[in-house]
Amino acid sequence: MLEQSVQFVKGIGPTKAALLASQAGIETVEDLLYHSPRRYLDRSTFKRIADCRTGETVTVGGRIADAAIMGRGRKFLSVTIEDESGSLAGVFFGGIPYFKKIFRPGEYVLFSGKIDFFRTMQIVHPEFDFLDDESSIANINTGRVVPLYRSSEKLRGAGLDSRGFRRIIRNALDACIGEIADPLDAGLLERLGLISLPEAIRFLHFPDTAQDADRARRRLSFNELFLLQYYLALSRRLLREERGASARAIDTAAFDAFARGLPFALTDAQAAAIDEIRRDMERSVPMNRLLQGDVGSGKTVVSLAAALFALGRGEQTAVMAPTEVLAAQHDRTFRALLPPGVRTALLTGSLPRAEKRAIASAAAAHELDIVIGTHAVIQNGVSFARLGLIVIDEQHRFGVNQRAALRDKGALPDLLVMTATPIPRSLALTLYGDLEVSSLREKPAERVPVTTLAFPEERVADIYRSVEKYVSQGRQVFIVLPLIAESEKMDLASAEDTYARLRDTVFPARRVGLLHGRLPAAEKDAVMRDFAAGAVDILVTTTVVEVGVDVPNATVMVIMHPERFGLAQLHQLRGRVGRGAHQSFCILVHPADIPDESRRRIDAIVGTDDGFAIAEEDLRQRGAGEVIGLRQHGHDAGLEFTDLARDMELILSARAEAEARAAEVADAETLAARVREPAQIGGIARGIRSKRVISLLS
């Protein structure tokens, strides 16, 4: 029955089946059983409204009594909910028309967030979930853990809200739980402390306790990790067997010329990384290396050396940066340091079409040695005559599938991924399976550590005065404004307002520039060039400046609303200063009253400048949610059930198990077929199924 259409489950007819397929990708009964709850409602985090206290972070639920637009100057929407004990308001400042539409009186809704008190008990910008009716709340109050499912307007219209899903899944389970076979043997499960697959599926939907839900998650996580690792293990074997042991020779003339011409001595860490890369690139098996080094540790120079090794094998290099600003900067750095005769081009989306085409055909004719550009442009626009190396800068969410797509561009080119955000080992293993790591733990010698300070907004005038002082000493300053999504019109207006005010009123005697993602690329590039050349004193900017920008004379960064940035992002931003010999400062200017989590992030960033420590703290803080959220944690790796912060051991055992199974594949033909056709591995590891992993690999 598992393979049959969901239509045959009690309570689902042809109409609902069609909706399930189109709205949720659920076609078979098995699909339905694997349709995992988005989150669970758990009594331990749930409160009656009357029991809430100011300052607590809680989840409350109730019926919407009223949704009213209020406020004189700044309007806001106040959504009042009631339970049997009292009432509370959810307050929304942005998106009022949208929220006004969705919060309809009479509906049941769940609010999560921090309680504060302003005329009434309220939560500002709560996270919210719609409930089908009061019975979910009644269920929690009887001590059960209640699963909530992702649904849609159309599904809800057909009765498939969370309650509807619980009902049909119950029916499906009753009909075929006996058919679910566990592909793993009992001994292994016991050794790993995992529950059986049928049990996991049952607890996924109907856990008695939060622990049950977590046991289900762990078991399903093992399944997806095992599949992923199995595929990676097969690929590694195939590669070893195909390539044999012949070495590739590198002519180092170009590299030697570059090393002689460098205006500084390489740090020991840089020299060591370059050495490791060179040894990788001489081997027959393609390099798969991650170069991690904190902001300012000098990764670009290392990638340049790698490009020259590729050149020394008669091959081309593609350098991919996440933004145009950064691609342009790499282009400048490369041009400044490359020995004469090396042919490079900068390829960005904003070039006139004819120029883009000219560069692409030059790459195809091997008239270019190095092409630098943004990921999108190179991935979509260029084919190379002999692509030997791909350098990917500042992009650690670069998954297995993108990698495969890229590799189609060359006969398995070498890969060098660079990142300032150290990848926790769990993520590296999950994403890449077999990535070698070089670390630049040391920064160029003359660097002075950045001093980081946090101030409430009321001190902003003092802060501008010290900005003025540093500018008068010849230094340059970044003022960073949050523009979370570059498309948010309101934010953009506020960035432009702030810019105008700073330029006209606060720093009338200074040259103030503005940089944000909505500017045409040519303008962005011009502003960055002016700033790099010292022709702009104060650069008002959004996070487009986050990654990689290198202006050693900029020694002060003021970050407004740091509470709106993530930890890794704050660290990245801060890395834009402290790149020269002068003492640098990073100043965080936050509203007086901010949520606890934001406060913790700010404390963490003030407390340490160590990127490795920050990455760990980031994973820890993000991993600790008050609600058990299934999908939040493994997302970075594209996984559904895995929590990278907690599942390190699971990852390692899945990997070991997968290695053993991959070694059992006897003939080369089967091996090659499985690697080429990832969808097949699902069938091989019978009963272990993960649509997510299969699509990740395909």
Chain residues 247-306 in contact with ligand ADP, contact rule CB under 6 A: 264-267, 270, 293, 295-301
Q: Which is nearer to ligand ADP, 144 or 299 (CB)?
A: 299
Closest distance of CB 610 from ligand ADP, Å: 15
DSSP annotation string for 188-214? HHHHHT---HHHHHHHHHS-SSHHHHH
Choose the contact partner of 653 out of ligand ADP, Mg ion, none; CB within 5 to 8 A by kind.
none
Closest distance of CB 336 from Mg ion, Å: 15
Alpha-carbon span 338 to 404, nearest angstrom? 30
Dihedral of CA atoms 448, 453, 459, 461 in degrees, nearest 10, equals 20
Choose the contact partner of 298 out of Mg ion, ligand ADP, none; CB within 5 to 8 A by kind.
ligand ADP
Q: Which is nearer to ligand ADP, 112 or 374 (CB)?
A: 374
Closest alpha carbon to 168 in 8, 22, 4, 24? 8
Closest distance of CB 273 from ligand ADP, Å: 11
Closest distance of CB 253 from ligand ADP, Å: 22
Choose the contact partner of 68 out of ligand ADP, Mg ion, none; CB within 5 to 8 A by kind.
none
Alpha-carbon span 141 to 43, nearest angstrom? 7
Show the binding pattern over residues 536-555: x = contacts Mg ion (CB under 5 A), - = does not. ------------x-------
Closest distance of CB 374 from ligand ADP, Å: 16
Chain residues 435-494 in contact with ligand ADP, contact rule CB under 6 A: 444
Closest distance of CB 515 from ligand ADP, Å: 18
Alpha-carbon span 28 to 38, nearest angstrom? 20
Pick from 552, 629, 682, 687: which binds ligand ADP (CB under 6 A)? 552
Burial of 368 (0-12, 13-18, 19+ CB in 10 A): buried
Q: Which is nearer to Mg ion, 273 or 671 (CB)?
A: 273
Beta bridge partners of 290: 417, 437
The number of residues that bind ligand ADP (CB under 6 A) is 19
Choose the contact partner of 217 out of ligand ADP, Mg ion, none; CB within 5 to 8 A by kind.
none
Closest distance of CB 297 from ligand ADP, Å: 4
Q: Which is nearer to ligand ADP, 444 or 517 (CB)?
A: 444
Choose the contact partner of 552 out of ligand ADP, Mg ion, none; CB within 5 to 8 A by kind.
ligand ADP
Alpha-carbon span 34 to 668, nearest angstrom? 33
Could you tell me which stretch among 56-64, 452-460, 504-512, 548-556 binds ligand ADP (CB under 6 A)?
548-556
Q: Which is nearer to ligand ADP, 444 or 562 (CB)?
A: 444
Alpha-carbon span 668 to 241, nearest angstrom? 8
Chain residues 384-443 in contact with ligand ADP, contact rule CB under 6 A: 420
Closest distance of CB 15 from ligand ADP, Å: 56
Alpha-carbon span 417 to 306, nearest angstrom? 11
Q: Which is nearer to ligand ADP, 373 or 444 (CB)?
A: 444
Closest distance of CB 186 from Mg ion, Å: 50
Q: Which is nearer to ligand ADP, 316 or 419 (CB)?
A: 419
Closest distance of CB 418 from ligand ADP, Å: 7
Choose the contact partner of 270 out of Mg ion, ligand ADP, none; CB within 5 to 8 A by kind.
ligand ADP
Closest alpha carbon to 276 in 433, 443, 438? 438
Q: Which is nearer to ligand ADP, 270 or 542 (CB)?
A: 270
- Those residues with Cβ within 8 angstroms of residue 532's Cβ, 6 or more apart along the chain or in another chain: 329, 332, 550, 551
Sign, CA dihedral 532-522-321-497, equals positive
DSSP class of 487: T
- Residue found under tokens 């090393």: 259
The number of residues that bind Mg ion (CB under 5 A) is 1
**Degrees, nearest 5: CA angle 22-23-29:** 75
Q: Which is nearer to ligand ADP, 441 or 622 (CB)?
A: 441
The phi, psi pair for 50, rounded to 5°, reads -65, -20
Alpha-carbon span 595 to 587, nearest angstrom? 19
Alpha-carbon span 490 to 488, nearest angstrom? 6
Q: Which is nearer to Mg ion, 281 or 319 (CB)?
A: 319
Q: Which is nearer to ligand ADP, 420 or 637 (CB)?
A: 420
126 sits near Mg ion (criterion: CB under 5 A) = no
Q: What is the largest CA-CA distance in the chain?
A: 80
Closest distance of CB 322 from ligand ADP, Å: 12
Alpha-carbon span 428 to 644, nearest angstrom? 10
Neighbours of 196 (CB within 10 A): 15
- Token pair in block for residue 607: 């407390």
235 sits near ligand ADP (criterion: CB under 6 A) = no
Choose the contact partner of 301 out of Mg ion, ligand ADP, none; CB within 5 to 8 A by kind.
ligand ADP
215 sits near ligand ADP (criterion: CB under 6 A) = no
Closest distance of CB 135 from Mg ion, Å: 54
Residue of minimal Cβ distance to ligand ADP: 298
Closest distance of CB 481 from Mg ion, Å: 22
**Degrees, nearest 5: CA angle 691-692-698:** 85
Q: Which is nearer to Mg ion, 67 or 418 (CB)?
A: 418
Neighbours of 470 (CB within 10 A): 20
Q: Which is nearer to Mg ion, 342 or 549 (CB)?
A: 549
Size (the chain), residues: 698
Choose the contact partner of 539 out of ligand ADP, Mg ion, none; CB within 5 to 8 A by kind.
none
Closest alpha carbon to 236 in 398, 436, 437? 436
CB-based contact 289:438 (threshold 8 Å): yes
Q: Which is nearer to ligand ADP, 365 or 448 (CB)?
A: 448
Residue 133 three-state SS: coil
Give the per-residue SS3 of 330-366: HHHHHHHHCCCCCCEEEECCCCCHHHHHHHHHHHHCC
Pick from 579, 582, 655, 689: which binds ligand ADP (CB under 6 A)? 579
Beta bridge partners of 436: 289
Alpha-carbon span 650 to 287, nearest angstrom? 27
Alpha-carbon span 55 to 113, nearest angstrom? 10
Choose the contact partner of 297 out of Mg ion, ligand ADP, none; CB within 5 to 8 A by kind.
ligand ADP
Residue of minimal Cβ distance to Mg ion: 548
The secondary structure element, H or E, covering residue 23 is: helix 14-24
Alpha-carbon span 155 to 159, nearest angstrom? 7
Closest distance of CB 263 from ligand ADP, Å: 8
Choose the contact partner of 580 out of Mg ion, ligand ADP, none; CB within 5 to 8 A by kind.
none
Closest distance of CB 419 from ligand ADP, Å: 9
Closest alpha carbon to 678 in 666, 690, 661? 690
Question: Residue numbers of the site for ligand ADP (CB under 6 A)?
Answer: 264-267, 270, 293, 295-301, 420, 444, 548, 550, 552, 579
**Residue ranges binding Mg ion (CB under 5 A):** 548
